[in-house]
Chains A and B, each alone.
Chain A
Amino acid sequence: MNLFRSEEHLERWLLYFQTAGDYVMTVAEWATVFSASIFRRRLEPDYLASSPAYLEDYRRALKAMGKALPAPDRFLSAVMFTDIVESTKHTARLGDAEWRRRLERHNEVVRTQLERFGGREIKQTGDGFLSAFDSPAKAIQCAVATCHEVSNLDLQVRAGIHLGECEALGDDLGGIAVHIGARIGALAAPNEVLVSGTVKDAVTGSGIDFKHRGTHELRGVPGVWELYAVAG
């Protein structure tokens, strides 16, 4: 994201790097686009929770400048968030070196289970993982197995799963479905696999049982959500 003295200068630079210039505007126009809420409200106390809505504002600002947005590469995916419970307490209890070893073993366990159930590691999120699956049932099986295997390390994880359309952002995943998955994961109890009603409905007939865990509002996500814990 660079500035040039004129379009002529930019064209020379693009030629040198053999790339294309799809998003080119005058500085004044960019200044208008960068007035969108996502840039303007960074010090608001609920900025992170509001960022999905603010991103839409950014899209609108670009559209208003006549910039056709690239059609996002969207696909249906089950997103799974896992996270170690009370990792800070473990760090204090075990000390940095031992905690690092324990964390590495935890990471190995998660990756082994992802491979076993056909999951794709998207990224690590602090002391957890965001992963994606083609099959929501496989995601549930992976989460259950991960909870079980990690308990052998004297650790507990919580897991949240949602099924929805995601956007490919390079190697990362984006879109509201990912936010929903993260919010559900945060609500899960230790050793619990918590899923959205969408996931529950999608795996009907799989033999997986669920226990209703109530209706919840998920911060920054419209509507109310029925959540279910995997029972067996």
Chain B
Amino acid sequence: MTSENMTQRAFTTILEHFVATGRAPHYTELSDLLGIGVQEAREVQRTAVEASPIAGCWMAHDTDHIESWAPFSNIPTHYLISVDGIQRWYGQCGMEALAVRWLFPSQEVVVETRCLDCGDTIRVRTRDEETLEVDPESAVGYMPSPFARSRAGSGAFN
């Protein structure tokens, strides 16, 4: 059984790896980062998925590959995220993209996406607490339920 402490360490380490590189570590890399065996790392990433609140983290179906680790996605989405002008990250969804800023203190975080109705660009520029710009100003966000699972697969919600 994975200890709570190790689960927390794995959760944080995966998130830190996303922040630093724009992608999730493979469990073989996680093994190095945590100083544990490869199989233990494979197991602990699953335990961390289960422990993540509001179903914010998940694996690609039937694999040991991380697909999403809120607020990031490990596969390209239409939520492109730039930090201080460098686009390296993808948001898990439109709302979580707005939470990426908390992982990059004092830096300008820009979310660029497309309207699912017309395909035109929406751009949100933030730094810490401040929303510096929303273009267009009329932009709105929608989610079907604030506590429901938000896994990929439903065309209506992604």
Q: Are chains A and B native binding partners rather than an unrelated pairing?
A: yes
* A interface residues (Cβ-Cβ under 8 A, vs B): 1-7, 9-10, 12-14, 17, 19-28, 30-31, 34-35, 38-43, 45-49, 51-52, 54-55, 58, 62, 67, 69-70, 72, 83-88, 91-92, 96, 123, 125-128, 158, 169-170, 172, 174, 186, 219
- Judge if B156 is at the interface, Cβ distance under 8 Å: yes
Complex formed: what's the CA distance from A14 to B143 in Å?
11
The tally of CB-CB contacts under 8 A between chains A and B is 194
**Given contact pairs A34-B98, A45-B12, A219-B4, A126 touches B50 in the complex (Cβ within 8 A):** yes
Complex formed: what's the CA distance from A24 to B118 in Å?
18
- Judge if B33 is at the interface, Cβ distance under 8 Å: no
> Would you mind naming 10 contact pairs between A and B with Cβ atoms under 8 Å apart?
A9-B118, A12-B117, A22-B145, A27-B98, A27-B140, A30-B141, A42-B71, A43-B16, A88-B37, A169-B148
Chain B: which residue is nearest A174 at the CB level?
B147
A6 touching B139, Cβ below 8 Å: yes
Since A27-B141, A92-B37 are in contact, a sample of 14 more A-B pairs with Cβ atoms closer than 8 Å, ordered by chain A residue number, is A2-B158, A4-B122, A4-B140, A9-B116, A14-B142, A23-B142, A24-B142, A26-B141, A28-B131, A30-B95, A48-B8, A48-B52, A87-B1, A123-B50
A48 touching B4, Cβ below 8 Å: yes
**A7 touches which one: B11, B70, B140 (CB < 8 A)?**
B140
Q: How many residues of B contact A (CB 8 A)?
A: 62
Contact flags (1/0) for B11-52 with A, using CB distance below 8 Å?
110011000000000000000000001011001001110111
A127 touching B8, Cβ below 8 Å: no
**A2 touches which one: B4, B37, B93, B98 (CB < 8 A)?**
B93
Question: Which residues of B in the span 55-113 have a Cβ within 8 Å of any Cβ on A?
Answer: 55, 70-71, 93-96, 98-99, 102-103, 113
**Given contact pairs A26-B140, A125-B50, A5 touches B118 in the complex (Cβ within 8 A):** yes
Question: Which residues of B in the span 132-153 have a Cβ within 8 Å of any Cβ on A?
Answer: 134, 136, 138-150
B12 touching A3, Cβ below 8 Å: no
User: Residues of A contacting B115 with CB < 8 Å?
Assistant: 3-5, 9
Complex formed: what's the CA distance from A51 to B11 in Å?
13
User: Residues of A contacting B4 with CB < 8 Å?
Assistant: 48-49, 186, 219
- Chain A nearest CB from B109 CB (Å) reads 11
User: Residues of B contacting A13 with CB < 8 Å?
Assistant: 116-117
